[in-house]
């Protein structure tokens, strides 16, 4: 056990890796999804007749 620990310490290899990110993927039918509007700063930059006001969801990302 001490040989493995020593090797990890000398080579600066972590003994474990944590992944703190968590993604929520809404699996309800698309018609029942909640959508998020783009921030006001981005909405101000759009043309007045633009309909591109929603943030892309993770599902949109993979559909495209």
Q: How far apart are CA 21 and CA 7, in angstroms?
A: 29
The size of the chain, in residues, is: 64
Where does residue 16 fall: left (phi above 0), alpha (psi -120 to 50 degrees), or beta otherwise?
beta
pLDDT in the model for residue 9: 81
- Give me the torsion for CA of 9, 12, 13, 17, rounded to 10°: 100
- The structure tokens listed for 58 are 């993770």
pLDDT per residue, tens digit, the chain (64 aa), is: 678 778 878 888 776 767 777 777 777 777 777 788 999 999 999 998 999 998 887 777 777 8
pLDDT in the model for residue 49: 92
pLDDT in the model for residue 27: 76
pLDDT in the model for residue 1: 63
Are the C-beta atoms of 58 and 25 separated by less than 8 Å? yes
pLDDT in the model for residue 29: 79
């Amino acid at each position: 056990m001490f040989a493995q620990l020593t090797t990890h310490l000398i080579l600066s290899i972590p003994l474990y890796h944590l992944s703190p990110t968590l993604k929520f993927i809404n699996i309800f039918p698309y018609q029942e999804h909640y959508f998020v509007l783009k921030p006001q700063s981005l909405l101000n930059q759009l043309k007045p007749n633009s309909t591109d006001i929603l943030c892309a969801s993770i599902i949109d990302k993979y559909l495209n």
